[in-house]
Amino acid sequence: MTLRVLGVDPGLTRCGYGVLDAGRGRSASLVDVGVVRSSPEEGIDQRLLVISRGLEEKIEEHAPDVVAIERVFSQNNTSTVMGTAQVSGVAILLAAQRGIRIAMHTPSEVKAAVTGSGRADKKQIQTMLVKLLHLEAPPKPADAADAVAIALTQLWRGPGPVRLDASGRARTSAQSVWAEAERSARRARESSTSRF
């Protein structure tokens, strides 16, 4: 069974979305990516309505198993935090209305999952997305790339339906697949080092 995740990078002006399908082992494929935009000149009610309709369209189009959302964290800019929290609420509500499971990931969790470092910058994340998803260029704008990274974090770290690894064995969570991939990579590195 393939797991499909819709990642959401909540923002009031640009709300990033990224849809990924889990492959065998640690692989994933990009299905769709982009942003839903709202105009800063509109009132908050109309802006949230635009974001809601855009996300709803993507949920209906792709029927994700999980909606993964970046967890709002405290910043100095209160208005930015409020807008982000409001858009997060919209995404959560849309998923709940359809019985779709949601997951929340902090920015540091996403950085650690994608790059191995919780202190990675956006450029490092984008470089890893290109490599891991076999893309020609990172998704743009940055909000879209962030949404893809959130979806990837959910695939690798969050629980999901039964999946098969490269040898055809059943796995009960993406986390176990991640652990096995890490062990395989370590064995390969040790093997190549011992030859020299």
Identity at 123, one-letter amino acid code: K
Q: Is residue 177 part of a domain?
A: no
Is residue 8 assigned to a domain? yes
**pLDDT of res. 23:** 85
Whether residue 189 lies inside any domain: the answer is no
Query: Is 143 labeled as ligand-binding?
Result: yes
Is 195 within a domain? no
Active site residues: 9, 70, 143
User: Would you say residue 168 lies in a domain?
Assistant: no
First-to-final CA distance of the chain: 41
Q: Which domain holds residue 52?
A: 4-159
Q: Which pLDDT score is estimated for 196?
A: 53
Residue 42 lies in a domain: yes
Count of domains observed in the chain:
1
Residue 76 has pLDDT above 80, yes or no: no
Give the mean model confidence (pLDDT) for residues 128-132. Answer: 95
The yes-or-no verdict on residue 180 having pLDDT over 90 is no
- The residue length of the chain stands at 196
Tens of pLDDT, residues 42-64: 999 999 999 999 999 999 999 99
The mean pLDDT value for 110-118 works out to 91
| Torsion angle, alpha carbons of 153, 155, 158, 162, to 10 | -170
The answer to whether residue 193 sits within a structural domain is no
21 annotated to bind ligand: no
pLDDT in tens, 79-111: 778 889 999 999 999 999 999 999 999 999 999
Mean pLDDT for the chain? Answer: 85
35 domain-assigned: yes
**What CATH number is attached to the domain comprising 110?**
3.30.420.10
Residue 167 has pLDDT above 80, yes or no: no
